Amino acid sequence: MRNVLLAEDDQDFGTMLKQYLTLNKFKVTWTMNGEEAFEAFKKETFDICILDVMMPLWMVLH
């Protein structure tokens, strides 16, 4: 099973993506902001990361 980090702050879109990926046999860790995504990334190994292109500036500033 592939392990995916999903960073998406839009509740509806994040829910849809997580459901789609889960139905297709992916293990999904869904985070709602850049800080949560970065913390998850440091703790676990992911096969792929799907990041929101409009992520708040926290990711850039830290």
Report the CATH number that the domain containing residue 25 is assigned in CATH. Answer: 3.40.50.2300
pLDDT 10s digits, 21-60: 999 999 999 999 888 999 999 999 999 999 988 876 655 5
Contact of 12 with 52, CB cutoff 8 Å: no
pTM for the whole structure: 0.85
Q: Which residues contact 8 (CB under 8 A, 6 or more apart)?
A: 14, 17, 30, 31, 32, 50, 52
Residues pairing with 30 in the sheet? 6
19 inside domain: yes
10 inside domain: yes
61 inside domain: no
